A and B are shown apart, each in its own frame.
Chain A
Amino acid sequence: MTIDPDPDLLLDARGVAKSFGAVRALTDASLSIARGEVVALLGANGAGKSTFVKILTGALKPDAGHVRIRGAETRVGSPAQARRSGLVPVYQEPSLVPDLDIADNLRLGGTDRDAFQHWMEALAHPDLTLDAVVRDLPLATLRIVDLARALAAKPDVLLLDELTAALPTDLVERVLKVARAQAEDGRGVIYISHRFSEIAALCDRATVLRDGRSVGEARIEPGVEERVVELMLGAKIDLGKRAAEIARPKPEGRPRLAVQGLAVAPKLKDASFTLHPGEVLGVVALEGQGQDELFEALAGFRQPAAGSIEVDGAPARFGHPADAIAAGLSFVPGDRAHALFRERSVRENIAMPFSARMRNWGPLRLRHEKARVAEAIARLQIDTRAQGEVQRLSGGNQQKVTIGRWLAHGVRTLLLFDPTRGIDVRTKRQIYPLVRDLADRGAAILYYTSELEEVPLACDRAIVMFNGRVVDIVEATEADEARLMRAAYGLTATEGAA
Chain B
Amino acid sequence: MSLVRKQAWVLGLLGLFVALLLITRLIQPNFGVNGLESLARASLPFAFATAAMAVAVIVGGIDLSVGSMMAVCSVTAAVLMESMGGVPAIAITLAIGTLMGLINGTLIVVTRVPDIVVTLAMLFVWQGTALLILPSPGGAASAWMRSAITGSFIIPGLPNALILVAVIVAAIWLPIRRSKLGLAIYATGSDETAAFRSGVATGHTKAMAYGLTGLFSAFGGLSLLALTGVGEPVPGPYLLAAVASVVLGGVILGGGVGGLLGPIIAVFILRIIRTILTLAGFDPNVTTIVEGTIMVGVVMFGAFLVQRSKRQAA
Do chains A and B make direct contact within the complex (CB under 8 angstroms)? yes
**Which A residues are within 8 Å of any B CB, using their own CB?**
59, 78-80, 83, 91, 94-100, 104-105, 107-110, 131, 302
Q: Report the minimum CB–CB distance from B6 to chain A (whole Å).
A: 9
Q: A108–B190 contact, CB under 8 A? A: no
Closest to B190 in A: A99
| Interface check B187, CB cutoff 8 A | yes
* Cβ B256 vs Cβ A99 within 8 A: yes
Q: Contacts of A100 on B, CB cut-off 8 Å?
A: 183, 186-187, 190, 256
Q: Are B257 and A97 within 8 A (Cβ)? A: no
A98 engages B256 (CB within 8 Å): yes
Whole-angstrom CA separation of A100 from B180 in the bound complex: 13
In the complex, the answer to whether A109 meets B198 with C-beta atoms within 8 Å is yes
How far does the Cβ of B236 sit from chain A's closest Cβ, in whole Å?
32
The closest CB in chain B to the CB of A110 belongs to B199
Dominant SS among interface residues on chain A: loop
Q: Which residues of B contact A (CB under 8 A)?
A: 2, 180, 183-184, 186-187, 189-191, 193-200, 256-257, 314
* Chain A residue at minimal CB-CB distance from B309: A135
- Determine the distance from Cα of A143 to Cα of B226 in the docked complex, in whole angstroms: 54
A95 and B198 contact, CB distance less than 8 A: yes
Beyond contacts A91-B197, A104-B187, A107-B183: 14 other A-B pairs, Cβ-Cβ < 8 A, are A95-B197, A95-B198, A96-B198, A97-B186, A97-B187, A98-B190, A98-B194, A99-B186, A99-B190, A100-B183, A100-B190, A100-B256, A109-B199, A110-B199
Q: Which of A59, A97, A108 has the most chain B CB within a 10 Å cutoff?
A: A97
Q: Is the CB of A107 within 8 A of B180?
A: yes
Cα distance A97–B199 in the bound complex, in angstroms: 11
List, sorted by A's number, 19 A–B pairs whose CB atoms are closer than 8 Å: A78-B199, A79-B198, A79-B199, A83-B199, A95-B197, A97-B190, A97-B191, A97-B194, A97-B256, A98-B191, A99-B257, A100-B183, A100-B186, A100-B256, A105-B198, A107-B180, A107-B183, A108-B195, A109-B198
In this complex, what residue of B is CB-closest to A57?
A: B197
Q: Would A108 and B191 be within 8 Å (CB), given that A83-B199, A97-B198 are in contact?
A: no
Q: Shortest beta-carbon distance, A22 to chain B, in Å?
A: 23
Separation of A95 and B200 alpha carbons in the complex (Å): 12
The smallest C-beta distance from B96 to any residue of chain A, in angstroms, reads: 32
Name the A residues within 8 Å of B195 (CB-CB). Answer: 97, 108
- Binding site of B, secondary structure by majority: helix, strand, loop or mixed? helix
- Are A79 and B186 in contact (CB-based, < 8 A)? no
B63 CB, min distance to chain A CBs, angstroms: 20
Write out the residue numbers on chain B whose beta carbons fall within 8 Å of the beta carbon of A302: 314
Q: How far is the CA of A95 from the CA of B195 in the complex (A)?
A: 8
Q: Which residues of B contact A97 (CB under 8 A)?
A: 186-187, 190-191, 194-195, 198, 256
Complex Cα–Cα for A96 and B200 (A) = 12
Q: In the complex the two chains form, what is the Cα distance from A109 to B200 in whole Å?
A: 8
Hey, which chain A residues are within 8 Å of B186, CB to CB? 97, 99-100, 104
A158 to chain B, nearest CB (A): 15
In the complex, A13 Cα to B122 Cα: how many Å?
A: 47
CB neighbours (8 Å) of A96 from chain B are: 194, 198
**B184: chain A residues within 8 A (beta carbon):** 108
Q: Can you name the residue of chain A whose Cβ is closest to the Cβ of B184?
A: A108
Nearest Cβ distance between residue A439 and chain B, in whole angstroms? 32
**CB closest residue in chain A, given B58:** A99
Of the candidates B191, B197, B257, which one forms a contact with A79 in the assembled complex, judged by CB atoms under 8 Å apart? B197
A135 CB, nearest partner CB in chain B, Å: 9
Q: Is B196's CB under 8 angstroms from A78's CB?
A: yes
Chain B: CB-nearest residue to A131: B2
Of the listed residues B2, B197, B314, the one surrounded by the most CB atoms of chain A closer than 10 A to its CB is B197
By a CB distance below 8 angstroms, the chain B residues around A95 are: 193-194, 197-198
Q: Which residues of the other chain, A, contact B198 by a CB distance below 8 angstroms? A: 79, 95-97, 105, 108-109
> Which residue on A lies nearest to B255, using beta carbons?
A99
B232 to chain A, nearest CB (A): 37
Separation in Å of the B69 CB from the closest CB of chain A?
A: 27
Q: A98-B191, A99-B190, A100-B183 are in contact. Are A108 and B200 (CB under 8 A)?
A: yes
Give the docked Cα–Cα distance between A108 and B190 (Å). Answer: 13
Please, how many angstroms separate the alpha-carbon atoms of A78 and B197 in the complex?
8
How long is the Cα–Cα vector from A454 to B196 in the complex, in angstroms? 39
Name, among A100, A109, A131, the residue most crowded by chain B CB atoms within 10 Å (CB to CB). A100
Interchain CB contact under 8 A, B196 and A108: no
Q: Quote the shortest CB–CB distance from A288 to chain B (angstroms).
A: 15
CA distance A132 to B200 in the complex (A): 21
Min CB distance, B168 to chain A, in Å?
26
The residue in chain B whose Cβ has the minimal distance to the Cβ of A296 is B314
B256 adjacent to A108 (CB under 8 Å): no
Q: Which of A59, A94, A104, A108 contacts B199 (CB 8 A)?
A: A108
CB distance from A131 to the nearest CB of B (A): 7
Residue of A nearest to B200 (CB): A108
Contact between chains at A108 and B183 (CB < 8 Å): yes
Highest count of chain A CB atoms <10 Å: which of B184, B187, B190, B200: B187
Given A80-B199, A109-B198, A131-B2; A104-B183 close (CB under 8 Å): yes
Q: Chain A contacts of B189 at CB under 8 A? A: 99
**Separation of A302 and B187 alpha carbons in the complex (Å):** 30
Q: In whole Å, how far is A243's beta carbon from the nearest beta carbon of chain B? A: 35
Residue of A with least CB distance to B197: A95
**Which residues does chain A contribute within 8 Å of B200, judged by CB atoms?**
108
A59 to B314 alpha-carbon distance, docked (Å): 25
- Cβ-closest 8 pairs across A and B: A80-B199, A99-B190, A99-B256, A95-B197, A97-B187, A109-B198, A108-B198, A97-B190
Q: Which residues of B contact A131 (CB under 8 A)?
A: 2
Bound-state CA distance A145–B196 (Å) is 17
Q: Using Cβ atoms and an 8 Å threshold, which residues of chain B touch A99?
A: 186, 189-191, 256-257
Min CB–CB distance A31 → chain B (angstroms): 21
Contact partners of A108 in chain B: CB under 8 A: 183-184, 187, 195, 198-200
